[in-house]
Amino acid sequence: MSEDRSRLEFPNWLLEQWTGESVIVHPDRPTGALILIAIYSTQFGSACGGTRMKSYPDRARALQDALRLAEGMAYKWAAADLGFGGAKAVIDVPPNLDTRERPDLLRRYGTLVRQLGGLFYTGPDVGTTSADMDMIAETGAPFVFCRTREAGGTGDSGPITAWGVYQGLRATCEKLDGNPSLDGRTVLVQGAGSVGSALIERLCNAGAHVLFSEQDGKLIRHFRDEIGLEFIPAERVYNAECDVFSPCALGGILNEQTIPQLRCRAVVGSANNQLASPEDAGRLRARGVLYAPDFVVNSGGVVGVPGMELLGWSRSEAEQKVADKIAGTLRKVFALSDQAGIDMGKAARRIAEERLAHGSVERLPLPRL
Ligand code: PHE
């Protein structure tokens, strides 16, 4: 088989190992992109997850990301106590996609979202913005969260997600030594994107000593040269000494190689799927690092945004709910871990699975399918 064929070959075998329900596979012929929508569960009718747009080395990597992220979303909705199933869309674009082709690609994707008739709701994720949500909603309304404020949405979900991470940091510090304050604590933020940059600002305002790591030259110059924060290059990010390490970039970064290097007391961040495998939560526990599970900590967007866009909450009401839910669920996770002698990953999954098994989550006012 030619190299290109094998790169583009559809990885059916990955579906065999997946415990979710369906994957919609939609080739976008004009651009050569592949749209994948993974629906993990329709237990509550509709499923929801962000739209990630990037170039993957091959289709297998793209599908794998969609499947894992959709499963993660199922746990995130359950941890947030809300009745959406887990889902995720991945748009695997050719590396040389002309930016002028992007709007039409997004509109065609929006049409697909509309055709699904409410089975799938979406919002922004890595590689997409609120402006992209506006374009998707031109053809995909009303199933699109986080449109710009001008277009009637609530805009970027980064700031409310970062607010949730900040609350997660406070609850974790309280568990560490009884004091939730970030004042004087050293926090290393990995990734200064939409969530990371908003978190950095909160932490600075709270008196924390903030270190950051980032790959984008413009963001590095901004936070290092204009704001005056200490920059940690990628090769030192896992063994830099800090109180809390906050991964706010991509997943899989806590693994057999990185965990032994860590010199922090806790890990609390917004990236989805931070653990390369579930056993990594046990590795963190064995090293005495307090891990606040990602899908609890990063649920600020999924609690706050549907609250504001579907339930009519004001931004300050949304912030209050996000703070209460994240701190409340984290305390339950910490207590269950102590009481049952299990790692934080298992404890968080057990709490989410219990909510799913009993269907005891809050239902959103969505049309019945
Ligand atoms: N990227 C978001 C997440 O992973 C997706 C999202 C944001 C979905 C806001 C709905 C509303 O949680």
Q: How far is the CA of 122 from the centre of ligand 1 (A)?
A: 7
Of the given ranges (35-44, 106-115, 359-368), which has the lowest mean pLDDT? 359-368
Q: Which helix (H) or strand (E) holds 23?
A: strand 22-28
Q: How far is the CA of 142 from the centre of ligand 1 (A)?
A: 16
Confidence band for 312, pLDDT divided at 50, 70 and 90: very high
- Report d(CA 31, CA 97) in Å as an integer: 7
- Report d(CA 160, CA 108) in Å as an integer: 29
- Report d(CA 171, CA 293) in Å as an integer: 12
Partners of 33 in the β-ladder: 28
Q: Provide mean pLDDT across the span 348-356.
A: 97
Please list the active-site residues: 88
Confidence band for 3, pLDDT divided at 50, 70 and 90: low
| Ligand 1 atom 4: residue of nearest CA | 50
Which pLDDT value is given to residue 184? Answer: 98
Report pTM: 0.96
Looking at ligand 1, which atom is closest to the CA of residue 76? Answer: 12
By DSSP bridging, strand 244-247 and strand 186-190 are parallel
> Which protein residues are within 6 Å of ligand 1, measured from CB?
48-50, 76, 123-125, 145-146, 157, 272, 301-302, 305
Q: Which helix (H) or strand (E) holds 159?
A: helix 158-177
In the DSSP assignment, the letter for residue 227 is S
Q: How far is the CA of 341 from the centre of ligand 1 (A)?
A: 31
Question: Per residue in 134-184, pLDDT tens?
Answer: 999 999 999 999 999 999 999 999 999 999 999 999 999 999 999 999 999
Question: Per residue in 93-129, pLDDT tens?
Answer: 999 999 999 999 999 999 999 999 999 999 999 999 9
In sign, the C-alpha dihedral spanning 144, 92, 102, 299 is positive
Looking at ligand 1, which atom is closest to the CA of residue 301? Answer: 9
Which of 157, 297, 325 has most ligand 1 atoms within 8 Å of CB, for mutation? 157
